[in-house]
Structure 1
Amino acid sequence: MSALVQSKPLPRGHAIPSLALGVFQSTAGPETYDAVLTALKLGCRHIDTATGYESEGDEVFVATKYFEVSWVPWSTTPKQPWSYQGTVDAVRESNRKLGLDYIDLYLLHAPRGALRDIGVSNFDEEQLLKLSKTWRVKPAVNQVKLHPWLARPDTVKFCEEQGILMEAYSPLVRGEKMEDPVVWEIASGLNASPAQVLLAWSLAKGFVAPKSVKEARIKENLESAKLKLSAAEMTKLGSLDAYYVTAWDPIKEHGV
């Protein structure tokens, strides 16, 4: 399964898999443990987590140790909210909880030698421009809520120009757009599911971190790497952009 998933190069020279398993809102304990273990068995080699998810401990990474994947390429992407010293402390704590010598990618600014690459989450082009005035290391990744109904073209363009890799979260729109006729038309033509079409769109933009705790869905998500959308199909999906936000938009709420 892992052979289907391409990797994206990062500034420090290593690559990160284009498809990840996100564990946001997965219940700590057996549910998260089983989801991570299933994803690893199916070939997933990228786990997207965060301090705020409260799942960096044994519930997630006992599965990793149990499966013994330390000898194959795989990546972890934790995230930490605001404050410099808080981030430094959180990096060290994440390293301890994960049982790793280093973290592959960490989403915020913390140059202390414990990380391969650093990035940001929920930054738009204006916030990135402000950050560029003081950064010593350019973010490798900007992780934002991104899907056809929330395409953020200005942010995507800025990141492309700066060489910052885009990562989408909530790429399936919390299931709220699975019945959209445009998505269904494309899915029918490709003999794919609507979810796979949405993930294929996100893959064309950067890389994604879909969440699921069910084996069939995790497998379906990984197999979306097989799909290649045509330019016409990408245009159809691009026409759906309408600033459609599920839950909240942290870019707007915490804009500076």
Structure 2
Amino acid sequence: MPRLGFGVSEARDAERSVSEALAQGYRSIDTAAVYGNEEGVGRAIAASGLRRDELFITTKVWNGHEGCQHAKDCAAASLERLGLDHVDLYLVHWPTDVFAECVQTWSGLEDLHADHRARAIGVSNFRAGHLRRLLVLGGTMPAVNQVELHPHLQQHEMRALHAAHGIVTEAWSPLGRGAVLEEPALRGIAERLDATPAQVVLAWHLREGHVVIPKSDTPARIAENRAAADLDLTDDDLAAIAALDVPEDAGRIGPVPADPGADG
């Protein structure tokens, strides 16, 4: 899985944005059924001329009351919209408070993995209690947990839990929707490196070992984000960014799934 990918949540024109991203060298594209743009992503993939094995495509399913069959039906519809016979990563987009529903949805994803329609399966927006629900089942370990993560919300406890179980940490909203970019510490680092604050934040994510999926509709910004991989941050830079964390989830900008706790 490429560490630096391209997200299309809220994209104004997913086909155009993904086409630009692929032309600029991105090879990992993250979409979801609920975004309503899988067809546009699929058209961009088809028009790119790239081999399927050059690409890493992620999409997601929302939990449904039908559980296992719901996940399979949604996957089939997503694959049709994308024009693909498999995705590289299929995620449960949002946790559910209903334990049986969670187990059934995950069982559906395990079947998709076994049938090679998803090369890997994982989750998104799961908190510690949600993850522990899956871990106690003794089945397939989630390959990825995609969570809100940026300098104002550094998710130390979740990252430690992921590391303990070999789960990849993937950051959505890696720039905090721009809220972190005015931080003087980031601006100072950017000035020294002749870079932008956004590039510094993305370089921080990569240095910390996160998978990151910035999004943009602007060709210049798409190129700028990709160039962040070339920045070399010092230990002092990392310490300055670590100090930007806001405690007790106060830096969170997205919705907060209720954590069912360790006992689920």
TM-score, length of structure 2 as denominator length: 0.85
CA contact (8 A) 2:30 2:59 kept: yes
Match for residue 125 of structure 2 among 119, 122, 136: 122
185-194 or 34-43, which moves further after superposition?
185-194
In 1, the alpha carbon distance for the partners of 2:220 and 2:26 equals 14
State which of 19, 25, 32 in structure 2 corresponds to 1:37: 19
Question: Where do 4+ consecutive residues of structure 1 move more than 6 Å?
Answer: none
The alignment of Structure 1 onto Structure 2 pairs a total of residues equal to 236
| Partner residue in 2 for 1:150 | 153
CA shift for structure 1 position 87: 1.2
Residue 24 of structure 1: aligned partner = 9
Give, in angstroms, the shift of residue 135 of structure 1: 4.3
SS of 1:17's equivalent? coil
Could you tell me which residue of structure 1 aligns to residue 100 of structure 2? none
- After superposition, the C-alpha distances for 1:77-112 in whole angstroms (9 at most, x for unaligned) are 101111332211111111212121211011133022
Post-superposition shift, 1:253? 7.6
Residue of structure 2 equivalent to 1:195: 198
What per-residue deviation string (whole Å, max 9, x for no partner) do you get for residues 187-223 of structure 1? 1122110000111112223111111011000001111
- SS of structure 2 residue aligned to 1:210: coil
The Cα of 1:248 is off from its aligned counterpart by 2.2
- Residue 69 (str. 1) matches residue 50 (str. 2): yes
Separation of aligned partners in 2, 1:168 and 1:101: 26
Look up the match of 1:79.
60
Distance 1:138 1:214, change over 3 A: same
> Aligned pair in 2 of structure 1 residues 248, 163: CA closer, same or farther (>3 Å)?
same
User: Any stretches of 5+ residues in structure 2 without a counterpart?
Assistant: 93-105
The two structures, once aligned, show a CA RMSD in angstroms of 1.6
Deviation at 1:71, TM superposition (A): 5.1
Question: How do residues 196-215 of structure 1 correspond to structure 2 at under 5 angstroms?
Answer: 196-203=199-206, 204-215=208-219
**Which residue does 1:232 correspond to in 2?**
236
Q: Give per-residue Cα distances to partners, 1:28-83, cap 9 Å, x unaligned.
A: xxx221101000000110110001000111x2221111111125511111011113
Deviations 1:110-138 (Å, cap 9, x if unpaired)?
Answer: 02211110000011223212220114100
Check 1:135–1:22 CA distance in 2 against 1; reply closer, same or farther (3 A cut).
farther
**Aligned letter for 1:60?**
V
Letter in 1 for 2:183: D
**Alpha-carbon offset, residue 151 of structure 1:** 0.6
Q: Which residue of 2 aligns with 1:5?
A: none
Q: Percent identity?
A: 37
CA deviations over 1:153-184 (Å, ceiling 9, x no partner): 00000101111000000011111221110111
CA distance in 1: counterparts of 2:259 and 2:7, whole angstroms: 23
Residue aligned with 1:115, SS: coil
Task: Give 2:98's aligned residue.
Answer: none
Task: List alignment gaps of at least 5 residues for structure 1.
Answer: 1-15
Structure 1 CA distance, aligned partners of 2:27 and 2:134? 30
Contact 2:130-2:260 at 8 Å conserved across structures: no
